[in-house]
Amino acid sequence: MRLTVEGRLLLCLGNEHSVDLKAVLRANPGQPQKLEKAIIDAMQLKPWSHNFTHDDGVQVVRFMNMTGG
């Protein structure tokens, strides 16, 4: 999991599934438990494995300076 510079929590570097944590923070100022819940809920959606080696899928192109790491 990685946090992008835009505030999206990427669930896997091999796909585009993400959670907008910036929106959670802005909608719930001063409520850190809402952010914690969003992260815990996102972990339940995280794929079990990645598809970096599968030839039939679309490959995600992402620059690491935008990904956050």
Per residue in 8-40, pLDDT (tens digit) is: 998 876 667 889 999 999 999 999 999 999 999
Map out the domains of the chain as residue ranges: 2-67
Query: Is the entire prediction scored with pTM above 0.85?
Result: no
3-29 in b/e form (b: 16+ CB < 10 A) is bbeebbbbbbebeeebbebeebbeeee
Q: Which residue would you say has higher pLDDT here, 47 or 55?
A: 47
pLDDT for 45: 81
- Please give the share of the chain, as a percent, with pLDDT higher than 90: 39
